Chain A
Amino acid sequence: MERNQRLSPIETQVAAKVIDGEAIIIRLSDGFYFSMSHVGAVVWSLIEQKKTVDEIVSEVLERYQAGEAQVLGDVMDLAKELLREELVQTVTSGPKPSDAEERPPVEAKEAYEQPRLQQYQDMADLLALDPPSPGLTNVAWNDPGEK
């Protein structure tokens, strides 16, 4: 893993969404769920933008209070794990200018925590124990305070 290595989600094998600072990732081949919060979610968003390891480290350092060596080590470890789990791949081309995320200026750096990839390998088995019936669509949420 080199610092100038560019990463990208394997879009044919992964479905993912960052929701309120939590990256939820589903590996479609086996239905395994993964999640990353806080720093991890930021890293995933940057991977979605096809950033290099160096670019990811720089942006994390801009947002969080941490030393460069620590962040570099953590990002490299995380990248290797994401590659191992076949969630991301290395790519040669970077983001188009229009893909660049516009971020508001960072006013105060947040406390840093090591990004971790949480795995939920038993999701498919738990759902299979007593599978929900198909065809159930999303339902409107009625705030109980209105009742």
Chain B
Amino acid sequence: MRVLYWSDLFWPYVGGAEIFAKKMLPALRGRGHEVIVVTSHDHLDLPDCSLLGDIPIYRFPLRPALASGDPEKLPENFRRVKQLKRDFSPDLVHLSGVGPTAFFHLVTETSHPAPLLVSMRTEVLASQKNGRGSILDRSLRRADWVTAVSSDALEQTRHLVPEIVSRSSVVYNFVDAPVQAPTPLSFEQPRVVCLGRLITAKGFDLAMKAFVSVRAEHPGAQLVIAGDGPEKGNLQQLAHHLGVEQSVQFVGFVRPDDVPGLLNSATIVMLPSRREGLPMVAIEAAMMARPIVAARTGGLPEIIIDGQTGLLVEQENVQALGEALGSLLRRTDQATELGRNARVRAQAMFGRERCLDEYEGLYRQLTENSIKADHVARRAT
């Protein structure tokens, strides 16, 4: 079938959702489906159209147009999106994450009506909880099916729009088993690794503050911040302010192929996030048998079982983060066991074929005649 995959940003922009889509879409293509990607231009200089294997990626300046607050920047984008929808004639639209550009899909829906699958990838924002009147609310009510990457995200979404209870489910992301085998944890010069976009949601500033107490006990410890993003400058300043800049490495963007190697160098992986969906980094760290210290937020408690496959602490609690890190660095046997358990659990829960089967099953279900009738009725409301 023909699937129009809509994503606010797409590879080579890097985030968990983008990396996941880069792996999932070719796999769906390999199962015989015809897929195109509609996404937005942003700060990278990318072509309007490129290929991922033989999957076309179409980029429009959607996000800058919305951010400009100038309605004159909208018409051309609407025209292009409508033309693309008419030309491709998708059997189904898969909205991967509800970002600002979902606005363009919602407004152009009637140009080529098709069943809509919405996949929730992050928590519900405060501004989205104030009753009807948001891009998220409208997307969910229009959806023929809603998936979420975690039970936590699904529960929040169902609470927001209860009518989707009967047409929603959890579909966990998948992570391929790494080619590289996990190496034993090294505690001599411990390395705490934080991997992700450098944005406030990831809480790497909290990691840095927690690291101060760790370094006091382990002077040779290193904190590795891997990734790029708008918070880089602030984090570098914070490292200087805290007096730990000699112990903090900013290694920049890490190519996905190099992530297993980076994780293998870690003694502990830390996710002190303020907000999360189902972070791929946590699954990847578990696959590499790394113990994880994480905030109890989003889907993290579904990846990490506290005390069994990692340690969970209260959100925004620097002291608790520091105590968890210190505990694992003192109790090395426990740290090793947590990492080992994490790998076993990740292999069972986040396999590729399971995930693809679930999405493909939903695609098939949503394009059957009975669903199409409901879809037409929902469009009329």
B9 neighbours in A (Cβ, 8 Å): 130
Q: List 6 A-B contacts (CB under 8 A).
A: A24-B107, A37-B110, A120-B138, A125-B126, A126-B100, A132-B63
Query: Interface size on A (CB < 8 Å)?
Result: 39
B126 neighbours in A (Cβ, 8 Å): 125
Given contacts A26-B71, A33-B103, A145-B87, contact A123 B135 (CB under 8 A): yes
In the complex formed, the residue of A with least CB distance to B70 is: A15
Q: B76 an interface residue at 8 Å Cβ cutoff?
A: yes
With the chains together, A25 CA to B132 CA distance in Å?
17
Contact call B135/A19, Cβ cutoff below 8 A = no
Choose from B66, B72, B73, B78 the contact partner of A123 (Cβ within 8 Å): B66
With the chains together, A62 CA to B285 CA distance in Å?
65
A140 neighbours in B (Cβ, 8 Å): 48
Q: B134 an interface residue at 8 Å Cβ cutoff?
A: yes
Query: Interface size on B (CB < 8 Å)?
Result: 51
In the complex formed, the residue of A with least CB distance to B103 is: A120
Contact call A126/B80, Cβ cutoff below 8 A = no
With the chains together, A24 CA to B75 CA distance in Å?
10
Contact call B127/A127, Cβ cutoff below 8 A = no
In the complex formed, the residue of A with least CB distance to B380 is: A113
With the chains together, A33 CA to B74 CA distance in Å?
12
B375 neighbours in A (Cβ, 8 Å): none
Contact call A126/B64, Cβ cutoff below 8 A = no
In the complex formed, the residue of A with least CB distance to B107 is: A22
With the chains together, A26 CA to B65 CA distance in Å?
12
The distance from the CB of A47 to the nearest CB of chain B, in whole angstroms, is 15
Nearest 4 pairs of A and B residues by beta carbon: A133-B43, A119-B133, A17-B71, A132-B63
Q: B24 an interface residue at 8 Å Cβ cutoff?
A: no
Contact call B74/A136, Cβ cutoff below 8 A = no
A136 neighbours in B (Cβ, 8 Å): 41-43, 61, 64
With the chains together, A15 CA to B182 CA distance in Å?
56
Contact call A120/B70, Cβ cutoff below 8 A = no
With the chains together, A46 CA to B349 CA distance in Å?
57
Contact call A17/B42, Cβ cutoff below 8 A = no
Q: B290 an interface residue at 8 Å Cβ cutoff?
A: no
Contact mask A23-43 → B, CB, 8 Å, 1/0? 011101001010101000000
Q: B201 an interface residue at 8 Å Cβ cutoff?
A: yes
Q: A98 an interface residue at 8 Å Cβ cutoff?
A: no
Contact call A122/B125, Cβ cutoff below 8 A = yes
Contact call A121/B43, Cβ cutoff below 8 A = no
Q: A69 an interface residue at 8 Å Cβ cutoff?
A: no
Q: A106 an interface residue at 8 Å Cβ cutoff?
A: no
Contact call A138/B138, Cβ cutoff below 8 A = no
Given contacts A15-B71, A120-B138, A126-B100, contact A138 B76 (CB under 8 A): yes
Query: Which residues of A are at the interface with B, using a C-beta cutoff of 8 A?
Result: 15-17, 19-20, 22, 24-26, 28, 31, 33, 35, 37, 118-127, 129-133, 136-142, 144-145, 147
With the chains together, A15 CA to B68 CA distance in Å?
11
The distance from the CB of B118 to the nearest CB of chain A, in whole angstroms, is 14
Contact mask B52-92 → A, CB, 8 Å, 1/0? 00001010110111110111111110111010000100000
In the complex formed, the residue of B with least CB distance to A118 is: B138
The distance from the CB of A78 to the nearest CB of chain B, in whole angstroms, is 15
- Known contacts A20-B78, A26-B69, A127-B100; can you find 17 more A-B pairs with CB under 8 A? A31-B69, A120-B103, A121-B130, A122-B134, A122-B136, A125-B125, A125-B127, A126-B98, A127-B63, A130-B199, A132-B43, A132-B64, A136-B64, A138-B61, A139-B48, A140-B48, A147-B49
Contact call A144/B230, Cβ cutoff below 8 A = no
Choose from A16, A129, A142 the contact partner of B49 (Cβ within 8 Å): A142
Contact call A121/B133, Cβ cutoff below 8 A = yes
B41 neighbours in A (Cβ, 8 Å): 136, 139
With the chains together, A144 CA to B40 CA distance in Å?
16
A16 neighbours in B (Cβ, 8 Å): 71
Q: B128 an interface residue at 8 Å Cβ cutoff?
A: yes
Q: B99 an interface residue at 8 Å Cβ cutoff?
A: yes
In the complex formed, the residue of A with least CB distance to B62 is: A132
Contact call A144/B135, Cβ cutoff below 8 A = no
A122 neighbours in B (Cβ, 8 Å): 125, 127-128, 134-136
With the chains together, A138 CA to B40 CA distance in Å?
11
Interface residue ranges of B257-277 to A (CB < 8 Å) = none
Contact call A127/B75, Cβ cutoff below 8 A = no
